Structure 1
Amino acid sequence: MNSEKIIIIGGGVSGITTALTLQLLGCQTEIYTEKKAENIADKNTHPEFASLFPSASVIPHSVYSNQLEELFQSSQSFFYELRKRSFPGLTLQKHFEVFEFEKDRPEYGDWMMNFNSLEEFHPREIPRRSLSQDVYGWAFDCIFADWPLYFPGLITLYKESGGEINQRKIQKREIPSLPADIIINCSGTGSPDLFDDPVEKQMILKGHLLHKPEASLITNSNDEIISYNYTPKASIYSDSSGNACDVYCYPRKDGWILGGSRESGFLDNNDSETEDSPIENTRAYKIDSLDIPSAVIDLNQEILNTTFGHSLEQSDKLSALMGYRYIRNKENGLRLDHETLDGKTVYHNYGHGGAGVTLSWGCAIHLANKIISLKRSQMQSTLLDRLEEIMFDKKT
């Protein structure tokens, strides 16, 4: 085990998960973070803090890495183990990815549990706009992290394992004087301000979200919780380049999370975005002072009503959010490497795109494996044993 202090910069899901992993493995860790999720009342003032906005299904969407398969499978298997141990907020969902045009099977189809073509389902089981509409795609089982339960549970476990969280903004000039020889950078969009990044243009996707509170879980005849991404023809909903856009619905215990949009742009020097390909809107609904693409409500309403008999109206008590997914670049956007700076070893863990939650455990275990001399199987066993000890002590 390692008693040397390790500093983690960033208090989002990647920072907390990485720090918790090292803490459970016997390291002394401290998180430095400018923002704590529990202290932010207005999420729209911090669209760059991705951990305020996850849906959060364990699916490798909108992320680019040459290590994706290994990281995802490591993360997914650990999430399943956490669920077996009743970790707060982890559920299993039947997730549908539906298209109104033919679509190639995704690479991650080989990695998901119970992956099946839509041809295996009765037409009435498939989320769709109308039963007469021809649809294509697939469905699979996936872990879902119910965010208001899972993320606070993660933070609580980190603190109970002896971890510290120091709320302060770190400046680049302070890095050499930080009281640790190992620094792990999980600062997301703040990373280019703290460390040199080889990518010149930092890509983001900006996304609209809606929350419908107190909406009931969406289930099928087998009592499976259902979520979906649905992509209509481009003539129905597209960006300015003519690319078809999807809408989605993820049920949580506190209601539904609905979307979406994927407006691409680039970070400027002030961590704000410059627009590249905005959603092509003929209509928008004004909710909480945000212009929400009308399709987010209208298409979801049509799907929810047609398939499940549920209602979604603009007049519902909806709250609107706008957040960033930090893609970084489409060649190898995830940065998971290390460098030596001023005598310190700095490990980078950012650029997760739409898969921050999805890859959180895989990236954390990958970095821990670089720092601590343990076999991967022994590391996972140690993590789970220590986690169970803390959860058991808490119950008793």
Structure 2
Amino acid sequence: MSDKIIIIGSGVSGITTALTLQLLGYETEIITAKVPTEIANKNAHPDFASLFPSASIIPHSVYSHRLEELFKLSQSFFYELRKQVFPGLTINKHFEIFEFEPDQPNYCEWMLNLELIDNLPDDTIPRRSDDKSLNGWVFDCVFADWSLYFPALIALYQQSGGTITKQKLARKDISNLSSEVIINCSGAGGPLLFEDPSENQLIMRGHLLHKANAPLITNSADEITSYNYTPQPDVYSDAEGNTCDVYCYPRKDGWILGGSRQVGELKKSNTWESLNDSSTYTIDGIQFPQEIISLNNEILSYTYDHSFEVSDDITPSVGYRYIRNRKNGLRLHQENVSGKTVYHNYGHGGAGVTLSWGCALEITHEITTKKTKELKTELLKNISKIDMKKLS
């Protein structure tokens, strides 16, 4: 196939979409203002969401009327990739725990081996102390260890003949691009390049901590365990009084600890007033809610006999998730712009990694008219021929 397809953006959605097309026989080029492998200080680029993922394959903080369809497609692809020993993919026993009775989200029905914690021994459930009445569930969850998975994804794309060109685009440049087909995976940069029909362009700021050299957390069956834990609102909440959760995702280079979910607007200067000196810690000049350490420390100490301190080897990060809007934030459709056929693939909120393969296969379906099931089978067949050791 000789026609080149240009993908704008080198985040996980851009890389995955370009790789999908490249492995299915298309010539592709990624054009990006920021090349992930060249960024040393990721905190200087909070809008580049793919630098800061927790990377659990769960559809958190994303809004789409097609969410179930796209998630299931993506989830099944991740499971197949793991069978092929793609670098960085594990299966976690993931807990979602609450100190009150929550509404169960729809996605629980889509997760594998879902079980209510009512049926589990108390000492297997992440908790702060033994006198807390807890609710929640546990399920099997694919987890992408970002320090291994994302570099392997980029390496595979380049080894497959894909090219990455560093160029900052403006709206006026679109008509001059050397392809008739453009895929817009520019994330929060999308509204700067193309008209966007959504009036409220929402972003969510989040804080993450990386605790280096921390051990994997496993259960008695030697399964990696992770959690989201939501206490009572008077323990941890945002500026509007909405209860917040903390979480821990173990990976081979340490723990990813969070978090915060501070909603603002893309085109405004947000003050993020929920942070004040009395409720924060500061590391390397970055403020973050003290509950990320205090609550996680309670849970890890009580449940898993692990602990950590602010003075430990901890690296803080602050990044944005582009929600776009809470009605149908994911923008996944085609239009004609400046004589080009443009496919939009952005607005993934907190589920960019989670939906990456599902959205890539859907975009490819729109371009080729082949069914996604057929494309998935062909793509996995081509990936099976790759020596995974060369990607590690």
From 348, 353, 359, the equivalent of 2:355 is 359
Alpha-carbon distance in 1 for matches of 2:390, 2:308: 40
**1:123-157 deviation per Cα after TM superposition (whole angstroms, max 9, x unaligned):** 11110110111111111001000001000100111
From 262, 280, 288, the equivalent of 1:292 is 288
Question: Is the Cα contact below 8 Å between 1:161 and 1:390 reproduced in 2?
Answer: no
In 2 relative to 1, CA 135–95 (structure 1 residues): closer, same or farther, beyond 3 Å? same
Q: 2:260 maps to which residue?
A: 261
Q: TM-score, normalised by structure 2?
A: 0.97
- Answer yes or no: is 1:234 the counterpart of 2:233: yes
Q: 1:346 maps to which residue?
A: 342
Tell me the secondary structure at the aligned position of residue 190 of structure 1. Answer: helix
Deviation, 1:276, is: 6.3
Alpha-carbon distance in 2 for matches of 1:355, 1:275: 25
Which 5+ residue runs of structure 1 have no aligned equivalent? none
Alpha-carbon distance in 2 for matches of 1:317, 1:207: 20
Tell me the secondary structure at the aligned position of residue 199 of structure 2. Answer: coil
Q: 1:337 maps to which residue?
A: 333
Residue identity in the other structure for 1:373: T
Q: 2:165 maps to which residue?
A: 166
Deviation, 1:105, is: 1.5
Matches within 5 A, 1:1-396: 2-268=1-267, 273-275=269-271, 278=274, 282-391=278-387, 394=390
In 2 relative to 1, CA 302–281 (structure 1 residues): closer, same or farther, beyond 3 Å? farther
Alpha-carbon distance in 1 for matches of 2:275, 2:69: 33
Alpha-carbon distance in 1 for matches of 2:91, 2:275: 31
In 2 relative to 1, CA 222–279 (structure 1 residues): closer, same or farther, beyond 3 Å? farther
Deviation, 1:201, is: 2.3
Tell me the secondary structure at the aligned position of residue 48 of structure 1. Answer: coil
Question: Is the Cα contact below 8 Å between 1:258 and 1:296 reproduced in 2?
Answer: yes
Deviation, 1:373, is: 3.1
Alpha-carbon distance in 1 for matches of 2:103, 2:148: 35
| Structure 1 stretch displaced more, 98-107 or 381-390 | 381-390
In 2 relative to 1, CA 293–276 (structure 1 residues): closer, same or farther, beyond 3 Å? closer
Deviation, 1:280, is: 7.5
Alpha-carbon distance in 1 for matches of 2:273, 2:109: 31
Question: Is the Cα contact below 8 Å between 1:127 and 1:228 reproduced in 2?
Answer: yes
| Backbone CA RMSD of aligned residues | 1.4
| Structure 1 stretch displaced more, 70-79 or 234-243 | 234-243
Deviation, 1:392, is: 6.6
Alpha-carbon distance in 2 for matches of 1:187, 1:165: 14
Deviation, 1:291, is: 1.1
Tell me the secondary structure at the aligned position of residue 345 of structure 1. Answer: strand
Tell me the secondary structure at the aligned position of residue 214 of structure 2. Answer: coil
Alpha-carbon distance in 2 for matches of 1:279, 1:222: 40
Residue identity in the other structure for 2:258: G
Alpha-carbon distance in 2 for matches of 1:229, 1:280: 24
Q: TM-score, normalised by structure 1?
A: 0.96
Tell me the secondary structure at the aligned position of residue 139 of structure 1. Answer: strand
Residue identity in the other structure for 2:63: Y
Alpha-carbon distance in 2 for matches of 1:96, 1:353: 21
Tell me the secondary structure at the aligned position of residue 119 of structure 1. Answer: helix
Residue identity in the other structure for 1:297: I
Residue identity in the other structure for 2:26: C
**1:158-186 deviation per Cα after TM superposition (whole angstroms, max 9, x unaligned):** 11111111111111111001000000000
Deviation, 1:389, is: 1.8
Question: Is the Cα contact below 8 Å between 2:85 and 2:388 reproduced in 1?
Answer: no
Deviation, 1:283, is: 2.0
Question: Is the Cα contact below 8 Å between 1:262 and 1:279 reproduced in 2?
Answer: no
**1:195-250 deviation per Cα after TM superposition (whole angstroms, max 9, x unaligned):** 00011221011001100000000011111101101010000010111111001100
Deviation, 1:277, is: 6.8
